[in-house]
Amino acid sequence: MAAPGTWLGFDVGGSYLKAARVSSEGRVEERLHEPIAGGSLAALVGQLASAMEALGGRDAARAIGIGLPGIVDRTGRVFNAPALPVLNGQALGAELSRGTGLPVSIENDANAAALGEAWLGAGQDAASVLLVTLGTGVGAGIVLEGRVWAGRSGFAGELGHIQVEPAGVQCSCGSWGCLETVASARGWRRRAEQHLASTASVLRGSDLEPTTIVEAARAGDGVALEIVDGAAAALGVGLAAALNLLNLSRVLVGGGMAAAGPFLLERVVEQTRRRTFAQVFADCSFRLAELGNDAGLLGAARTAMLAGG
Ligand SMILES: [Zn+2]
């Protein structure tokens, strides 16, 4: 039979599996979303194989692409996967390929999301795209001329670990004052707690979630504005470094905190402008990401397509 024109994209997360069968134009033809079976590698491979069956079986797709929360080395082994430790040291692609008979390609989840946005989302008319994902942490992915730039061993795009405060708090990576320590949801909370120890604010007694902080900042609360502006300045430092280095055409801001919308984005753009070569800044446009939770899934399918499966 002729090879089908669809691919499977699996977004493997610490808590959930999202999977879909996707056409060559990026149309989602079927999808599923279920809790991850992350107890053992065998359980996970079994779940992914069942997902393939649920999405039409091996004859319905040409190949499988996976985005996962870890780094994939040149031999296809996964490492640095604290959100799903069962993956560490495992060649998930080879295992799944053996189990399903389909080619399997793997990409880091932040890179997959960037690829998804570059393909079908807010980066689709741009030659080079940096997606910054603001959530519990700060993730990022770089797509150059339609392909992920993962670097020699998969670590490229770790924008969240550019140092923005040399005397800042220690980061999970071992360094100090990384962008992630300031601009992630955890960073916002930590800084809010610091300010609230000495300054009055409507935030006192609140949940200190980013949406609450942005709401208070919009209403003019001084502490909340300090948190948002501090995060924007830190992002400006990181993005200016990335832009001066790579002269990119598009920066996208996504993740849960992108729900703060233009209120945060405008500040990030201004803070970046102040620190970037004028021509480099003029070459780049800034947008909010558009695909939300589907970015990783679509990017995973695209990973399989680009691998030639
Ligand atoms: Zn770090």
* Chain segment 44-75, per-residue pLDDT in tens: 999 999 999 999 999 999 999 999 999 988 88
Which tens digit of pLDDT belongs to each residue from 227-253?
Answer: 999 999 999 999 999 999 999 999 999
Å from CA of 255 to ligand 1 middle: 18
Distance CA 6, CA 27 (A): 9
Measured between alpha carbons, how far is 265 from 174 in angstroms, rounded to an integer?
29
How many angstroms is it from 155 CA to the middle of ligand 1? 12
Is the pLDDT assigned to residue 309 strictly greater than 70?
A: no
User: Residue 1 has what pLDDT?
Assistant: 45
Number of CB atoms found within 10 A of residue 76's CB: 16
Give distance in angstroms: CA of 162 to centre of ligand 1: 7
Q: Letter for the amino acid at 87?
A: L
Q: Decide if pLDDT at 2 tops 70.
A: no
Q: What spacing in Å lies between the alpha carbon of 308 and ligand 1's midpoint?
A: 35
Centre of ligand 1 to C-alpha 137, Å, is 10
CA 240 to ligand 1 center in whole angstroms = 18
Distance from Cα 174 to the centre of ligand 1, integer Å:
6
41: CB partners within 8 A, 6+ apart: 86, 87, 90, 92, 95
Residues contacting residue 76 through CB under 8 Å, at least 6 positions apart: 91, 92, 93, 94, 106
Q: The tokens 């920066």 sit on which residue?
A: 251
pLDDT at 178 over 80: yes
Residue 188's φ and ψ, nearest 5 degrees, are -60, -45
pTM for this prediction: 0.95
Using the mean position of ligand 1's atoms as its centre, give its distance from the Cα of residue 175 in Å: 5
If you measure from the C-alpha of residue 252 to the centroid of ligand 1, how many angstroms do you get, rounded to a whole number? 21
pLDDT band at 3 (very low <50, low <70, confident <90, very high): low
How remote is the CA of residue 43 from the centroid of ligand 1, in Å? 32
pLDDT greater than 50 at residue 36: yes
291 Cα: distance to centroid of ligand 1 (angstroms)? 27
The string of DSSP codes covering 256-283 is GGGGGTHHHHHHHHHHHHTTS-HHHHHH
Q: Which residues have a beta carbon within 5 Å of ligand 1, which is an ion?
A: 161, 171, 173, 175, 178
Write the Ramachandran bin of 56: left for phi over 0, alpha for psi from -120 to 50, otherwise beta. Answer: left
Q: What is the mean pLDDT of residues 31-47?
A: 95
pLDDT > 90: what percent of the chain? 90
Cα 180 to ligand 1 centroid, rounded to whole Å: 7
Cα of 202 vs centre of ligand 1, distance in Å, is 31
Residue 94 CA to ligand 1 centre (angstroms) = 31
User: Which of 14-23, 150-159, 234-243 is predicted least confidently?
Assistant: 150-159
Residue 89 C-alpha to ligand 1 middle, in angstroms? 22
Over residues 206-229, mean pLDDT: 95
CA of 148 to the centre of ligand 1 (A): 22
Q: How far is the CA of 159 from the centre of ligand 1 (A)?
A: 9
- Ligand 1 centre distance from Cα of residue 160 (Å): 7
| Exposure b/e, 94-115, CB count within 10 A at least 16 = b | ebbbeebebbbbbbbbbbbbbb
Q: How far apart are CA 282 and CA 179, in angstroms?
A: 24
Taking only Cα atoms into account, the Rg of the chain, rounded to an integer number of angstroms, comes to 20
Pure H helices in the chain: 41-54, 92-100, 109-120, 179-183, 185-196, 210-218, 222-246, 262-273, 278-283, 295-306
- CA 65 / ligand 1 centre spacing (Å): 28
The C-alpha atoms of residue 251 and residue 224 are separated, in whole angstroms, by 25
**pLDDT at position 256, please?**
84
At 255-298, the pLDDT tens digits run: 988 878 899 999 999 999 999 999 999 999 999 999 999 999 99
Residue 106 alpha carbon to ligand 1 centre in Å: 24
